[in-house]
Chains A and B, each alone.
Chain A
Amino acid sequence: MGGKRDLRESLSEGKETNRPNLYLSRRKFLRLTAITGLSAGILRIKKDAFAIQSIPSGSKGKWIPTSCLNCSARCGINVKVQNGRVVQIKGNRFSLVSEGQICPRGHIGLQVLYDPERIFTPLKRTEPKKGREIDPQWKTISWDQAIEEIARKLRSLRESQTPHQLLLFSGLNSRSHEDLISRFAEAYGTPNLISGEGLEDEAERAGHWMADGHFEPFVYDLDHTHYILSFGADLLESTPPVARWLRKWGKMRRERPIRTKVVDIQPRYSLTASKSDEWIPILPGTDAALAMGIAHVILKEALFDQEFVKHWTTGFEQYREIVLKEYKPETVSTLTGVSPETIYRIAREFAQTRPSLAIAGKGALAWPGGAYVSYAIHCLNALVGSIDIPGGVLYQEFPEYRGIPKTEKDEIGQKGLGQIPIDFRKSELYPAARVVTNQIPNSLIEGKPYPIKIAIGFNSNFNMTAPGSRVWEEALQKIPFYVHIAPFVSEMARFADILLPATTYLEEWGYEHSSPGAGFVEVRIKQPVLKPIGESKSIGDILFLLTERIQGTVARAFKPIGSCAEEFVRLRTSSLLPWEEFLKKGVWRGGGYEYKKYSKIFQTPSRKFEFVSGHLKILQNEKKKGIGQGRTLWPHYTKVNWLGDEKQYPIILFPYQPLLMFENGSQNYPWAQEIFLPMQGVGWASPAEMNPETAKALNLKDRDRVWIESPFGRIQTLIKISEGVPPNLVCIPFGQGHTSYGKWQKGIGCNPNEVIGIDFDRISGQAAFFNTRVKIYKA
């Protein structure tokens, strides 16, 4: 007791006397030393020593509203600029999608802007051979020369009557830049504009389209929902818009009278699982079966919303018959590994805790047959009536920008646009697809349906982000002339013949809107917070320069919409609000969201929610091949078709996207790298996580260096033993394994895309990410 008190007394003494006494005694001492003529050095120390105590007053800086672009959510941000330097980033409170909050990636925008290895001048390749390991031997050239060279090639391709042999890749770009790029494609006359959406959420969209006719990702009314059943969605890591999820999570938990219960269903114990109320491990690729099993309980016990089902759905009887016959919880249990009791319980909870939401994420959907999984899960929402009601699924509204004149199409352009796109979208191969990103490498290699002469990549990095990296690289070598536009030498840029330095999102003009969003319309401005660094130019400005130089029809398409990106943005948003106000506030919002628009919301042939898809029926009649006969018109579970023989490749590779993975194609940001995996407590790495039993069976220990080998290649990484991974599964995060540039990313970790095989959901063209099997052995 005595000792403790002594400690406390001395502490409290310290608290009151420490600093003043020190200061006084020091002053006395200094006075003495000054008198006795001791060195002035001590005086200097004194001044500096107290500098920490006082805040220097200086320029306060200016906050400029703009938009983030480190993921597809494009949150509104405010950026602080001080003496010409960007020093801090915050959310913009006027943006209600995430209530003015941003995720950590938003803050790391500083390091995106000041990435020390950005490129600032146009570069030309001098080494004719292309490949991952081959140094392109870049030579600096002027903007004038670069644009002239590209324009000359594009002109001659157009003159030879084959504009469709131009291929455009679009990675993560502003909405305004996307609009300009697609205008460019249209004016030039190529149907081959390939976005990265075929890698993201096409299966989700297609599922919704089958059910209610909207080929859009869904919006969830998180403000009012009481129960969330999440299938394979990393809600707090990679489900866009992430910042909205992060904000609303706090709200759902403690800021409302009723706490929302979140049930997370996925094989891996993810960060989201750890923050949910319940985690239900499920066998990979069986989410559709579980959704149907839950539907079985709801139907059997008549827990569904009779009113909604009666008035606003079709095909219910047929659906009910199939579900009751084929998906008994006991049967489903053997498929999914979830016990029948759990299925009964969560089905009852889900149906009785309304408004409730069933959410499908990439982990459940990026599989062959993913569109049907999305369909099956979405049917649960219809069963409980959570369609377009407070706390249910909403439909994103879009802004009405000022219209711009249509592109004038000449004969060459029309002929080009009439060709089959090289991703075979909407063909028998992918009957409902809008874009099949991962079909490109094979089309390029085989030269089918026709060879590509020129390609331009806008901030894309598909040989890093799409399954089958090596195939992509082989394909990129086949492009005779490739132009890449990005702020840095990404993996894809390494294959470029000409590399143009793009600005980062903090230095350019643009506009952004949701989807993914919050339902209501919101437009956010993107304005440069400082002048482009070096000679970099925004993609918008580059397109205006380029089209002007190509001349002819292409130039005429761009003339009426301005002469630079800023003018285009100004023109387009003039229908929304005055320019000055937009610049100052950064956000424009339309009216509030209108619920229960049942009479006009369903865009299906029957104008109702369809348990048996009318859209698919139409497709089936048109094109027999893509969609088989009979049962495939309604949601169902199909057995996973694994890539890799089970005997030879016994382990399932289950990759995931952590929150701190950037979607712009780079990871050269030390703030993100050092805290990359919070659940594992490691950064600068992408370990292969494995259940201790699996590791024991393979004779592996924690931190062992191993090869992960699939039929498509092998990668090396470290083992991390984890209790959050089920047996016979290995989990590796995306985002690492960069090979091209960057002292903070090159050579760190591995990229699971190198061993994942190329496979698709045939209806939507969604790339499959999870059906590859691997074997693991010591390196």
Chain B
Amino acid sequence: MPKWGMVIDLDKCVGCQACVVACKEENNVPHGSPEEQRTRREIFWHKMIAVTRGKYPHVRTELLPMPCMQCDHPPCVTVCPAKATFRREDGIIMQYYRRCIGCKYCMVACPYGARSFNYKTQEERPYHHQDEPPDRKSREPWPFPTRTQGVVEKCTFCFHRIDQGLKEGKKIGIEVVPACVEACPSQARTFGDLDDPQSPISKLLASRASFRLREELSTHPKVIYLSR
């Protein structure tokens, strides 16, 4: 069984946020509003954060693109009382909307803020077609034609692409990659099987210094950053 992982090269990353937009586009993630940003209720499956240190003129800002870290030891799975979040055999942490009771324990447990709660009123509509009536048929083959209010959502490593690709016998990580990897204009991202030492992602990891976010927590993220 492969173990899917993602490597993000911070030296190549240009901070353009194409990944953030492409994720919303692919997964029909609802867009926010000024009010939602103020109350921190926006939904992002993939976000970008800025970490600034130092004083003028010796200031340094690091931009970190952050999908779900897809931890190998995921705290969110441990704490979920409804078993709504689980780890697939290929390592992807999934959220099961129908089981989710909206308690947000997982959001508290997640050290990366990768999860969002859907506060949106139940609107049966594709979110990037801003005000159009629903049409489930036209959304296929997307797995998320509409959204559910009152549940927690998160990045899935575009599992639907991977599953479909495997079914069609395609090479995952080369022919089929998550939307954010595909959209990255500077090609700072690599996706693939971390368990296969011959995969491009493993070779890349072996060639450079890398780090994971909050390694001290032993969550073992499968999203790995290459330093600048």
In the complex, A679 Cα to B141 Cα: how many Å? Answer: 35
- The CB with the most chain A CB atoms within 10 A, among B15, B94, B141, is that of B15
Query: Is A578 at the interface (CB under 8 A from chain B)?
Result: no
- Do residues B141 and A274 form an inter-chain contact, with CB atoms below 8 A? no
**Residues of chain B lying within 8 A (CB to CB) of residue A22:** 83
Interface segment out of the listed A243-251, A518-526, A624-632, A649-657: A243-251
A7-B78, A52-B143, A88-B25 known; A14+B87 contact, CB < 8 A: yes
A577 sits at the interface (CB 8 A):
no
B105 at the interface (CB under 8 A from A): no
Determine which of A116, A675, A691, A723 lies in contact with B131 in the assembled complex, contact meaning CB atoms within 8 Å: A116
Q: CB distance B61 to A679 under 8 Å?
A: yes
Residue B122 CB within 8 A of the other chain: no
Q: Is A275 an interface residue (CB 8 A)?
A: yes
Most buried by B among A107, A245, A684, A748: A107
Taking the closest CB of chain B, its distance from the CB of A338, in whole angstroms, is 11
A271 at the interface (CB under 8 A from B): yes
Contact of B15 among A84, A254, A275 (CB under 8 A): A275
Spot the interface stretch: B29-37, B169-177, B195-203: B29-37
Chain B interface mostly helix, strand, loop or mixed? loop
Does A101 make an interface contact (CB < 8 A)? Answer: yes
A83 vs B18: C-alpha distance in the bound complex, in angstroms? Answer: 26
Interface residues of A in 1-41 (CB under 8 A from B): 4, 7-8, 10-11, 14-16, 18-19, 22
Whether B56 contacts A236 by the Cβ 8 Å rule is no
Complex: A243 Cα to B186 Cα, angstroms: 9
Residues of A within 8 A of B52 (CB): 723-724
Are B49 and A681 in contact (CB-based, < 8 A)? Answer: yes
A416 within 8 A of partner (CB): no
Q: A83-B135, A670-B33, A671-B128 are in contact. Are A726 and B57 (CB under 8 A)?
A: yes
A105-118 contact mask (Cβ, 8 Å, vs B): 1 or 0: 01110110011100
A480: Cβ under 8 A from any B Cβ: no
- The A/B interface has a contact count, at CB < 8 Å, of 215
Complex CA distance for A671 and B130, rounded to whole angstroms: 11
- Using A11-B77, A243-B185 as known contacts, say yes or no to A269 and B21 having CB atoms under 8 A apart: no
- From A58, A249, A727, B141 is in contact (CB under 8 Å) with A58
Which residues of chain B (129-179) have a CB below 8 Å from chain A?
129-132, 135, 137-143, 160, 163-164
Shortest Cβ gap from B57 to chain A (Å) = 5
Q: Mark A721-749, 1 if CB is under 8 A from B, else 0.
A: 00111110000000000000000100010
Cβ distance B80 to chain A, nearest Cβ, rounded Å: 9
B14 to chain A: which residues have CB within 8 Å? 236, 245-246, 249-250, 275
Q: Quick one: CB contact mask for B202-215 with A, threshold 8 Å, 1 for yes?
A: 00000000000000
Q: In the complex, A718 Cα to B152 Cα: how many Å?
A: 32
CB-defined interface of A176-188 with B at 8 Å, one 1/0 digit per residue? 0000000000000
B16 at the binding interface (Cβ < 8 Å) = yes
Complex CA gap A18/B92 in Å reads: 13
Q: By the criterion CB–CB under 8 Å, are A247 and B187 in contact? A: yes
**Distance in Å: Cβ of A270 to nearest Cβ of chain B:** 10
Cα separation A22 to B184 with both chains bound (whole Å): 38
Q: Which residue of B lies closest to A47 (CB)?
A: B98
Residue contact A110 to B129, C-beta cutoff 8 Å: yes
Q: In angstroms, how far is the closest chain A Cβ from the Cβ of B49?
A: 7
Establish whether residues B59 and A748, one from each chain, have CB atoms under 8 Å apart when the complex forms.
Answer: no
Cα–Cα, bound, A60→B139 (Å): 10
Contact of B37 among A55, A90, A683, A723 (CB under 8 A): A683
For A275, list chain B residues within 8 Å (CB): 13-15, 63
How far apart are the CA atoms of A90 and B179 in the complex, in Å? 10
Shortest Cβ distance from A101 into B: residue: B185
Contact string against A for B residues 5-47, beta-carbon threshold 8 Å, 1 for contact and 0 otherwise:
0000101111111101110111000011110010000100000
Pick the residue among B16, B61, B139 that contacts A246 (CB under 8 A). B16
Q: Quick check: B16 and A85 within 8 Å, CB to CB?
A: no
Q: Output the least CB separation between B146 and chain A (Å).
A: 11
CA separation between A748 and B26, bound complex, in Å? Answer: 27
In-complex Cβ contact of B31 among A83, A116, A255, A670 (8 A): A670
- Report how far A263 CA is from B25 CA in the complex, Å: 34
Chain A residues with Cβ below 8 Å from B130 are: 111, 114-116, 670
Which of chain B's residues have a CB closer than 8 A to the CB of A449? none
On chain A, the residues within 8 Å of B89 by CB distance are 15-16
**Interface presence of B108 (CB below 8 A):** no
The residues of B that contact A254 with a CB separation of less than 8 Å are 9, 11-12
Closest B-chain residue to A245, C-beta based? B14
When distances are taken between beta carbons in the complex, the residues of chain A under 8 Å from B185 are: 91, 98, 101-103, 243, 246-247, 250
Contact B11 A253 (CB under 8 A): yes
Partner of B16, one of A19, A253, A659, A674: A659
Q: Is the CB of A723 within 8 A of B63?
A: no
Q: Which of B54, B130, B184 has the most CB of A within 10 A?
A: B130
Complex CA gap A22/B50 in Å reads 40
Q: What distance in Å separates the Cβ of B156 from its nearest Cβ neighbour in chain A?
A: 9
Question: Do A670 and B32 touch (CB < 8 A)?
Answer: yes
Complex CA distance for A57 and B160, rounded to whole angstroms: 11
Residue numbers in B under 8 Å from A590 (CB-CB)? none
When distances are taken between beta carbons in the complex, the residues of chain B under 8 Å from A243 are: 185
| A392 sits at the interface (CB 8 A) | no
Q: What is the bound-complex CA distance between A55 and B83, given in angstroms?
A: 22
Q: Cα distance A89–B21 when bound, in Å? A: 11
Considering the complex of A and B, which 6 residue pairs feature the smallest CB-CB distances, nearest first?
A58-B140, A250-B186, A101-B185, A49-B98, A670-B31, A116-B131
Selected A-B contacts with CB under 8 Å, 28 pairs: A7-B73, A10-B78, A11-B74, A14-B78, A15-B88, A55-B164, A57-B140, A58-B137, A85-B135, A87-B138, A89-B25, A101-B185, A101-B187, A107-B22, A246-B14, A247-B186, A249-B12, A253-B11, A254-B11, A670-B31, A674-B37, A674-B42, A675-B20, A678-B17, A678-B63, A681-B50, A685-B34, A744-B33
Known interface pairs A55-B141, A249-B12; 10 further A-B residue pairs with C-beta atoms within 8 A, sorted by A's residue number: A14-B86, A49-B99, A56-B143, A60-B141, A85-B129, A102-B185, A107-B18, A671-B25, A723-B55, A724-B61
